[in-house]
Amino acid sequence: MFQIRIHGRGGQGVVTAAEILSIAAFLKGKYAQAFPAFGSERMGAPVTAFCRIDDRRIRLREPIVEPDALIIQDATLLHRVPLFDGLADSAYVLINSTRSFPELALNEIAKPLLPERCWTLPATKLGLEHVGRPIPNAALLGGFAAMTGVLSIDSVASAIMNKFSGSVGEKNVAAARAAYGLVMERNVAHAEAS
């Protein structure tokens, strides 16, 4: 089972991102589960959503405490909320930011992690460019697909179109594909440098 925990703020599409990941997994013939963890928060309050993907039926219902991947939609949460709790050394971390891990003061947290599994991505910028709104979720899902290989970009694109029709869906798919391309370029550069 592959478990994903997504952190962000209300209004950034955190819950929608988890739902789209689960739809993408279903479209790929896998079992999936997506659910949020929040109370009566308002716009801008911290929100967490979870997604599980497996080849077998998923019977678990509790929050994910040991994620295989962590997607952080809002870097302002980094030093305010214990985002990295339960993270294994082999986990993937994708952060919405134009700054690097060292610039975000995450050297100690990133030290035990595999460097090829820790990326930042200017997802808000990509959302503005492609969707016309500062919503990072579609771009982060494209980056997640490139980074992990758990889902294909085509299944993510189909899931986005399943959730959003017409030009809204197409714009979100463009943001996801742009992010996918950026992360794939970094993967190639990292592999050549190793």
Give 64's DSSP letter. Answer: P
Neighbours of 54 (CB within 10 A): 16
**pLDDT tens for each residue of 7-34:** 999 888 899 999 999 999 999 999 999 9
Our count of domains for the chain comes to 1
Domain at 106, CATH number: 3.40.920.10
Backbone CA torsion sign across 96, 185, 28, 150: negative
Helix axes 153-163, 14-27, angle to 10 degrees: 120
DSSP symbol at 190: H
Q: What is the pLDDT along the chain (194 residues), one digit of tens a residue?
A: 999 999 999 888 899 999 999 999 999 999 999 999 865 557 778 899 999 999 999 998 899 999 999 999 999 999 888 899 899 889 999 999 999 988 998 988 888 888 889 999 999 999 999 999 999 999 999 999 999 999 999 999 999 999 999 999 999 999 999 999 999 998 777 777 76
Instruction: Give the pLDDT of residue 26.
Output: 96
Residue 103 is part of which domain span? 2-193
